[in-house]
Amino acid sequence: MVTVTTQSGQRRAPKAAKTSSVFKKVVMAVSGIILVLYLIAHMIGNLKAFSGREDFNHYSEWLRTIGNPALPGATVLWIIRIVLLAAVLAHIWAAVSLWRQAKRARPQGYVTRKAVAQSYASRTMRWGGVIIAAFVIWHLLDLTFGAVNSEGHDGSPYDRLLASFQNPVSTIFYAIAVILLGMHLRHGVWSATQTLGQSNRRREVTVNYAATAFATVLTLGFLLTPFSVLFGLID
Amino acid sequence: MTLTEDGPRAATAPHEKPGMRLTLRIWRQQDASAPGKMVDYRLDDVSPDMSFLEMLDVLNEQLIMEGQDPVAFDHDCREGICGMCGVMINGRAHGNGLHEGHPQTTTCQLHMRSFKDGDVIDIEPWRASAFPVIKDLAVDRRSFDRIIQAGGYISVPTGTAPEAHAVPVPKKDADFAFDAATCIGCGACVAACPNASSMLFTAAKITHLGLLPQGQPERDDRVVNMVAQQDREGFGGCTNIGECSASCPKGISMETISRLNHDLLGALRAGVRPKS
């Protein structure tokens, strides 16, 4: 064994020292849970498309008037939007910050590297997340604001839905994003369980199966409506 | 030459058959500041009964005979219990997973029967900014020592050991604490982690001490300070991918990481903050 003296001494203390990496993971997990709860409600809401134009538009109108007349206008909707926006920003902040920390932690990569445990889902968390974020922006412009939708903002929500998903390109882009989201959730649900300290050797297998089952159901639920529109089951 | 795990050994007596011919691609780096590169070496007549480190010894003898600088690599006990050795072999920490059905192992316990004639073997040091290269395959892992110094201990007076039965420990806890305590601090978890995170190492110590009565008084301070120190050393964050546990020669489980997170959240809620 060689005795070594390093001139550099203590390595520089990065900002990470002040904000624990585990704390950032907790921010990631909690904001992720908020977004997952929203996604469940969103997926169920989408299935309203199967009960016809009137029901769907009525449901959409209800979202804007929850709590009326006790609360004025779209108060509840705006509260939901603000909470979601905060969760998305917190999720992105934690992700970017940990991504940078990981980059700093291994400035020089391996010449040869073979993974033994990672899944496609866990490997694509970061870039998958970026693609999902880009999709969400397009998705809002398409169906909420109608900016990139041929029906525009003046059409009813049901008309915008049909206009968007009768276009195969739009449906395929949606499908790719939703499948990526499903994989993001598969690893995310398991990872959040670990991060919040709720996993153990006994539960590990169950948590992983549950994560896969949940992600699959949610993905299929989201894919059902657009493909039904594309194939004319909803018109 | 084909090797089968349960084939009769006597039939392949090493003296009668020529050994394996291997091409080694080894990371050579003069010191921490010099740039390094992969260098090819040919090695003939390697016995399948050699350990991986014995194979490197043979290479070094050959290099010395040729008047070249031998390859620096860390090793000590060569029994898989000290944690000194460890290199990336064909992209895997300690070469784990190279051989079907091969138990997880340290580099010193990997044998050349896991390879075959004509193989090209890539050998690289652990790569993490918290594990700077000293020379060739040897890295400086004192960042691990500093994580332990930050709280990976119990403060008790030394001297005559008290009667072991005086403090009962549930069998389940004792077993799990022992499993976690088998961590030898080799650094394979960091090397294998896509984020170069030291979570499994820190979590093993948190679990080991956190499960035992003697570890309770300092439990909150321990987790907060050890996690702060690993961030300070420049390790990455954990993304629960599981490469660490799959590469660990002692099979430390992912549950230890969940336990660390659980303890840290509890300590932070209790208002414990890291010492600066």
Answer yes or no: are the C-beta atoms of B22 and B119 closer than 8 Å.
Answer: yes
> Which residues of chain A are within 8 Å of residue B76 when distances are taken between CB atoms?
1
Q: What is the interface size between A and B, counted as CB pairs within 8 Å?
A: 175
Position A23 pLDDT exceeds 80 = yes
Q: Which residues of chain A lie closer than 8 angstroms to B238, CB-CB?
A: 21-22, 25, 194-195
pLDDT of residue B4: 47
Tens of pLDDT, residue by residue over B194-214, are 999 999 999 999 999 999 999
Residue range B37-85, pLDDT digits in tens? 999 999 999 999 999 999 999 999 999 999 999 999 999 999 999 999 9
**Check whether domain B142-154+170-269 has CATH 1.10.1060.10, yes or no:** yes
Query: Which residues of chain A are within 8 Å of residue B259 when distances are taken between CB atoms?
Result: 197, 200
Topology classification of domain B10-124: Ubiquitin-like (UB roll) (3.10.20)
**Range A20-106+119-230 has CATH code 1.20.1300.10:** yes
A188 close to A128: Cβ distance less than 8 angstroms: no
Neighbours of B247 (CB within 10 A): 27
Nearest CA in chain A to B27: A111
Which pLDDT score, from 0 to 100, does residue A42 have? 96
Among candidate residues B97, B19, B30, the one with its CA nearest the CA of residue B58: B19
- Please, which residues 114-173 of chain B have a Cβ atom closer than 8 Å to chain A? 122, 124, 127-130, 132, 134-135, 138, 140
Rounded distance, CA A37 to CA A22, Å? Answer: 23
Enter the ipTM: 0.87
Residue that the structure tokens 């999902």 belong to: A132
B199 contacts: CB under 8 Å, gap ≥ 6: B189, B193, B230, B235, B237, B238, B244, B257, B260
Give the pLDDT confidence of B105-129 residue by residue, as tens digits: 999 999 999 999 999 999 999 999 9
Find the residue in B nearest to A192 (Cα).
Answer: B240
pLDDT value, residue A19: 65
Q: Where are the domains of chain A?
A: 20-106+119-230
Tokens 């969940």 belong to residue: B258
**Topology match between the domains B10-124 and B142-154+170-269:** no
Question: What separation in angstroms does the CA of B162 have from each of B141, B156, B158, B159, B177?
Answer: 34, 11, 10, 9, 19
Residue A32 has pLDDT above 80, yes or no: yes
Dump pLDDT digits (tens) for A179-231.
999 999 999 999 999 999 999 989 999 999 999 999 999 999 999 999 999 99
